Structure 1
């Protein structure tokens, strides 16, 4: 390489790293000034009735019984009456105290969902992180006390930035890819690799730009570090199987490339979810992707690895209320019929605005949102609709599978 080109490359590297660190510091400072720490949403005793549909008598009786049994529930200490200020963890414990079954009481391992497409820019990552937060915090799903893991396998580490931006800059060695290649014990992965997000109950296994270089020589690295493990089965055997009893759902996120990481996600998944955007280029590319999934499966199975996912659920994203986009939605329903998810993620400015501070529309407090509160409310409602629809589709698919097993 020419010396001047090398000097420029090194200069860009140093400046890029400094800028990344500055951006992280600026966002941390902003969050601190706005008082954004953990998940902001809490419930009063009245909101248990108005938002969760619990009768006043049951709410009163159960909260008193919990208090009498020594369970400490959060209260607003700034007010003389110390009203309840219940976290989502408190609410989950409320249901548990009443004997409501959680999802983990019904199933012995996580359901693995791969939200993927070979077309970039159609909200794969935004969908993944939004649904993870949406499922965990949806008022109708709080009784399940869901435990959710997002495994970021995209070298761009966008999911990591949304869920734990501090772990998306610099030299990140504790990534999902490294956990796979080192074939680490489950306890070591949970202690040193998995990171808690702003929403309690949602964790992330970070990614790094270096994962892209690793994926490029995946077969050679597997032969060296994972003798006896098939390259397309490494994610499933060396990571998912070790963590599946600790979570209710595991979401997988990759880049839009037919590489070793994407193929492993197809192998590890119980369900594929395919985001489809209605803009013509995106729509055409997505149809080409779905038409080639059989070829991807055939490619994988030609290596001796079985693909076991149960169904592929198309899901419309970035949908605007425009004639051409509504036509694309109608065409998508014509192609996918009843398999398409009956809820959509519309194109909303609130989702992009929240991304500027590495938040989702679920985690950002309305009081600190720099934009239309109504727009934020609409965005959050759409995420909740999609999250609940996907949860119900998973439950339907899972029950059918168990009945036919």
Structure 2
């Protein structure tokens, strides 16, 4: 594989050249932006509607993915719009919208179109029997960009329309930051008592009756799957991206897991995989885990479940020292934990908040890669760019930001994320153990 840093340099130069030609904003994006700013206080429905249509496709976009012309696409779309409301492939009124001079369809509508006409099959359809890759984004140092990496990798994967990946994003950080991006209507646990977090599922709250009913392990696994889909998995503005949210109350899991380990029971490390992921691993192509900045049982469950580990780190001496300690602790954890069910394919370091003009940042990255060896050296870095902060203020990722003055930086950040995801795909989907 090509060196990640060199790929980043190549992409940086490419986008810098392209940006000088990309000063305009499409008519439909202008309409969306105007609608989104009609009210100074937008509710969750309005925000998600904006995001859904921001990532929507028009007739021309869809035609580029099919063997048909845009005129033919329109005729075929009309067939689905005219279906009865109870038809599974019916395109409903809230799934298409006139923006500017043309019609835009949400990706939910587009995927119905693909399935109805049996074109552009999803990754899971093309690879039957393949189970989800489990990407754990973890570092026990706070403020290194774990949530930025996890959320943006998840959205990047979900937006790959030619692959049609089904992606699940699990929040294991009791702070619950991912709710801010994808499920901000779930403000606090008391407002969402019917919503189960991964910690709730691991503690088997509300599951006793199913354990009594199950007559076999296979039946119990099926009960777990149904329970998780009914009580924990939440929709987002992208139909193929789901979430399991976290709440501050999830720290209760740590207390109960610590109690088990004090009497020599190391099986809590297996809880996330055995009780949450295994029942649903056939339903997703990628499961991405965002962890908290602590060395605790919640974080251990993610380490045990992972088939790939991404370790975000900033090019700062204190953060790099803490990251080195985290990496050095991994062999001891796996030695004491039960044998893993699924093998780990990759463990890589991703530098975040990198100032490309700061020679110290370059030196820190070089020295860290040398000290850790090729096993952990990885991927293009994530630049220090205000666009991530701007997106967060809007409860969005950079993929939802409208075109503007910072478009060059946005595209450079997107290019870095593209290469991170590309490397994950290459290693994990080709079963390359690094």
TM-score band by shorter chain is 0.7 to 0.9
Counterpart for residue 128 of structure 1: 150
Tell me how far apart the structure 2 counterparts of residues 237 and 182 of structure 1 sit (CA, whole Å).
12
Counterpart for residue 139 of structure 2: 117
| Cα distance, 1:361–1:43 mapped onto 2, change above 3 Å | same
2:293 aligned with 1:259? no
| Cα distance, 1:149–1:380 mapped onto 2, change above 3 Å | farther
Deviation string 1:197-239 (CA, Å, 9 cap, x unpaired) is 233221111111111132122154799xxxx992211111111
Query: Which structure 2 residues correspond to residues 82-231 of structure 1 after superposition, within 5 A?
Result: 83-93=102-112, 97=117, 99-105=119-125, 106-107=127-128, 108-137=130-159, 141-171=160-190, 173=193, 174-182=196-204, 184=207, 185-220=224-259, 230-231=267-268
Which of 359, 374, 386 in structure 2 is aligned with 1:349? 386
Counterpart for residue 58 of structure 2: 44
- On the 8 A contact 2:59/2:74 being kept in 1, the answer is no
Counterpart for residue 312 of structure 1: 347
| 1:116 CA drift (Å) | 0.2
| 1:175 CA drift (Å) | 1.3
Tell me how far apart the structure 1 counterparts of residues 235 and 45 of structure 2 sit (CA, whole Å).
21
- On the 8 A contact 2:132/2:281 being kept in 1, the answer is yes
| Cα distance, 1:54–1:233 mapped onto 2, change above 3 Å | closer
TM-score (norm 1): 0.76
Unmatched segments (≥5 aa) in structure 1: 1-27, 368-372
Deviation string 1:168-197 (CA, Å, 9 cap, x unpaired) is 424354211111211742222212222112
Deviation string 1:45-71 (CA, Å, 9 cap, x unpaired) is 34457xxx658x644376257347646
Q: SS in structure 1 opposite 2:239?
A: coil
Query: Which structure 2 residues correspond to residues 353-392 of structure 1 after superposition, within 5 A?
Result: 353-364=390-401, 366=402, 373-375=404-406, 378-379=409-410, 381-383=412-414, 385-392=416-423
| Cα distance, 1:338–1:390 mapped onto 2, change above 3 Å | farther
Counterpart for residue 328 of structure 1: 364
| Cα distance, 1:33–1:251 mapped onto 2, change above 3 Å | closer
Q: SS in structure 1 opposite 2:378?
A: coil
| 1:75 CA drift (Å) | 5.2
Counterpart for residue 428 of structure 2: 397
- On the 8 A contact 1:62/1:94 being kept in 2, the answer is no
Q: SS in structure 1 opposite 2:293?
A: coil
- On the 8 A contact 1:348/1:375 being kept in 2, the answer is no
Q: SS in structure 2 opposite 1:144?
A: coil
Tell me how far apart the structure 1 counterparts of residues 44 and 345 of structure 2 sit (CA, whole Å).
46
Deviation string 1:245-281 (CA, Å, 9 cap, x unpaired) is 1211111122121211111111111111111211222
Counterpart for residue 73 of structure 2: 63
| Cα distance, 1:91–1:333 mapped onto 2, change above 3 Å | farther
Query: Which structure 2 residues correspond to residues 228-239 of structure 1 after superposition, within 5 A?
Result: 230-239=267-276
**Higher RCO, 1 vs 2 (CA within 8 Å, ≥6 residues apart):** 2
Superposition RMSD in Å: 3.4
Tell me how far apart the structure 2 counterparts of residues 33 and 175 of structure 1 sit (CA, whole Å).
20
Unmatched segments (≥5 aa) in structure 2: 1-38, 82-89, 208-223
| 1:244 CA drift (Å) | 1.0
Deviation string 1:289-346 (CA, Å, 9 cap, x unpaired) is 2232212222324xx6667322202112111121111222223443443753332221
TM-score (norm 2): 0.72
> What is the aligned length?
356
| Cα distance, 1:340–1:77 mapped onto 2, change above 3 Å | same
| 1:135 CA drift (Å) | 1.5
Tell me how far apart the structure 1 counterparts of residues 351 and 112 of structure 2 sit (CA, whole Å).
35
